[in-house]
Each structure stands twice: as C-alpha cells, then as structure tokens.
Structure 1
C-alpha cells in the first residue's frame, strides 16, 4: 500500500482490487461508526457498478456496523428501467448489500416514475437527510454519478436532475458486462448533481481497472474543468481516492 497527498486529496494505491476494496470498506466503516457516536442517524450514498464489488463485499462482511441507524441513497438510475431489472442500480445495491445488511431506510430512485416528479421527490429526501458520506466511482469519461462532460454543471442549481447519457457512458455499461449491446443501454437517467455529491462531509472514491487510468490522471492532475467532471473533487471537503495497480500505473507519467 502507498499513500500520498495530491491537492489536499488522499490517494491510496494497492496492488489488487481485493486489497483496495478491503481498505475502502475499513475507511467507510470507521467513519460511519465515528459519526454514529455524534448523531443518532447518518446519511450515506452509494455508487452502483462492478468497480464497487470488492468494496461492497468487504463492507457487507463487517457485522459491527449499526445499519439500523443509517439512511441510504444511491447516485443514479436509468429512466425506463424497473427496479427488478438486473441492470437496475437500486437492484444492484440490494443484491450486493441491503438484502443482508438492512439500513434504517434505503431510498431507491424509481426509474419508472415521471422523471420530473421523481427528481423532486428524491431532492426532498436528500434535503431531509443531508449526505454525511458519499461512496462514489469515476467513469471512463471522468463522470461522477451520471454527470457526463456534456451535462456536468459545477454550480448546478438542482439537487437531482434528468440527463441524457453520452456515448462513452453507455459504452462503459457494455464494457462492464451490464448490457450486451450499446443499443440496449438506456439513453437517459436520473442523477444526483455534482454540488449534491460534493455536499457530503466525506467522499470515498473507488476506482480500479486500467480503463480508468486516463480519467484518474485528469482527476488528480488535469485542469478543473467540466471536460472531466471528477476534477472538481479536488475541492471536496474531505476526499479519499483508492486505486489499484491498473488504474494507478501511468498516473504519474509524462506530467
């Protein structure tokens, strides 16, 4: 394990995805437990993607977390996809975590509802339960949640919004084996906006895999610009990014 500081961000680097996932889970669990000594309930948002598998597996294995005092959200959801669909992000989190570790509440985004109404409903829930912790990833195009470069707004006035996904985001779902073809990937989604994500007191970012190398480099060292939405994470209150050998190698080359 190697740890460094880049622009006030903690960068943690591990040889394998398993070691990375275990470390993220330990960090998140520790922060949850500390916060629960200070507050009756806390609010945590989770990303839903294969990149989070090892982290969620390790977090689920920690039986000392008081899930009954934790209100949970997720970052985004496809429009037009039911919660029962295998590709649904809320379904992913139930299978990976919440079916076995039952939180006080898990507020799922309903992709089948009227989109404007759903954004308003979810915004009100987030207002009632401001995020203490956000557990996120970074997309191949530098997106966080589904804030792709063409829709990312660093000063977004909305808490939750509807977005049209760009080609890179939709292709990533194919690369991740979530869909067989590009055409099967929904073209629109509901997402937490960038200001909502950055409002969290603590952000843990899990980014394994060689396909994320360029996005990681831009996040850590590129200009803070909507062309890499994740670059704004350098201004988060407290941000920790966890990388494996595949996502970390070449990060420091040619700078």
Structure 2
C-alpha cells in the first residue's frame, strides 16, 4: 500500500516487522556497497527499534567496515554513562557489536551546546546520508522534532530543543525513565530537512501506543503539526508497522496499492 509516496508494509507481529525491516535495509546497504566506497547511515534510538537492530546483526553480506554511523538525537545533561542516553543505547544494541568504519556521537554534555550542533552538522555535510532508520513518536515527532519545533524548512542541521510534555511522557511509557520528572527537558536533534535529505528512509513503528501517530502520518494533511506526515513526500520511504500500530487504519483498501 502507499500513502502519497510512502510505501506501507504491515506485519502481524513486531518481530516480523523488525526482521523484514532489517532485510530491506540490509538489501539496500549491500546494493549501495557495490557502487560506493562507504555508506552513511543515521540510526534512531528507541525500544521501537529493538527487533530491527537485533535482526540487522544477523544479516549476511554487509561490509560493516565500510559504514559510517550517526544517531539522530540526544538528551542534554544526562550522565555520560546513563543507559537512557541514545548514543549509549545504540552502542549496546549495534555499534559495539560490528566493526564500523566510524561512529559519530552527539554529545549532550558538551560545554558549548551551540558548538556541538555545528560540529555534528559539519560531519553530516561531510558524510551525506544514504540511509536513515527512523521511528515516529507518539506525538508524531521525527527524532526530537516535536510539533512545536518541527519546521519543514528549518535552516539548521542540528539544533537544541525543549521537549514537549507528550514526548517526555513517552519516555516513561517506553520504560526508559521511572517518572516524568526524570526525563530531561532539553535535547539535541537533527532537523527535519536533514533527515529528509537521506536518499532512502526506512521507518519502523510498532506497538499500540503508536496507533494514533500512524493514523495521523497516513491520514492528516502534510503539515508541521503532524511532523511525520512529511514522510509521504519522500521519494524513497518505507513505513514498517505491525498490527498493533496499524490499528486505526480501518479502511486499508482506501489506500492506493503499491
């Protein structure tokens, strides 16, 4: 099925969803590695990515030594060894398990946050993104571009943002923090335009709590109030969802067939 340009793939379980997303992304990595020296990939950090990341590690034929890895957001002010830190999440789930050519971490504890934004922006310009692996927040955010700071024409590449309450509550819902008060109020995020510039976008979104977000992604007008709707304009984007997250897509037949 398609909604705009966005291809939609629905699976019975989140495990099937993760395995199929990993297979599709691995196919694209192998394809790109035939024609270019390095592949540059941005990864999302969230429990929604667990099955995909675990499955990606089992894929054969990926030359990990020819991949440069980035992540798309980071809390400001968490201890450097905090398991909730997104760099640490990906370090444990993927980055420490494969021999990547390079891994570039956002530093949420940088002395000068604005300089850190510029540093990471320069790296993203030096290594143009081939593949972005995304999630979608309960409030429709991409990375930490919550609706109040999700600008489709954002002039920045990386920026500091104040997280909205829905976003912070999601971190509790996901089991990442014990209480709302524990969730940092500020974060660094890659902006919508830099995520959108990736040649290929793969979006992995399981779970009942994401059903509203998936409904809005597919059904709402494309606007900043619902940041994930911009995916419908991407020329090469695939949305992987499970039965739980697709629960509000009642009239599946109403979408054009892929």
**Counterpart residue number, 1:96:** 93
1:147-171 per-residue CA deviation (whole Å, 9 max, x = no partner) reads: 0001110000000000000000000
CA distance in 1, matches of 2:53, 2:80: 19
Note the 1:5-24 alignment, pairs <5 A: 5-24=2-21
Alignment CA distance shift 1:189-1:97 (3 Å): same
**Counterpart residue number, 1:74:** 71
**Counterpart residue number, 1:118:** 116
CA distance in 1, matches of 2:80, 2:198: 26
The structural deviation recorded for 1:188 is 0.4
Structure 2 unpaired stretches of 5+: none
Is it true that 1:44 corresponds to 2:41 in the alignment?
yes
How many pairs align?
252
The DSSP-based 3-state class of the residue aligned with 1:161 is strand
The answer to whether the Cα contact below 8 Å between 1:83 and 1:90 also exists between their aligned partners in 2 is no
CA distance in 1, matches of 2:209, 2:236: 25
Is it true that 1:33 corresponds to 2:35 in the alignment?
no
The structural deviation recorded for 1:196 is 0.3
With the length of structure 2 as denominator, give the TM-score of the two structures. 0.95
The answer to whether the Cα contact below 8 Å between 1:82 and 1:110 also exists between their aligned partners in 2 is no
The structural deviation recorded for 1:62 is 1.8
1:45-84 per-residue CA deviation (whole Å, 9 max, x = no partner) reads: 0000000000000001124211110000001000112341
The structural deviation recorded for 1:128 is 0.1
CA distance in 2, matches of 1:127, 1:12: 31
Ranked by relative contact order (alpha carbons within 8 Å, sequence separation 6 or more), the top structure is 2
Structure 1 unpaired stretches of 5+: none
CA distance in 2, matches of 1:178, 1:214: 21
CA distance in 1, matches of 2:93, 2:58: 11
The DSSP-based 3-state class of the residue aligned with 2:239 is strand
With the length of structure 1 as denominator, give the TM-score of the two structures. 0.96
CA distance in 1, matches of 2:99, 2:53: 14
1:196-231 per-residue CA deviation (whole Å, 9 max, x = no partner) reads: 000000000000001111111111111111111001
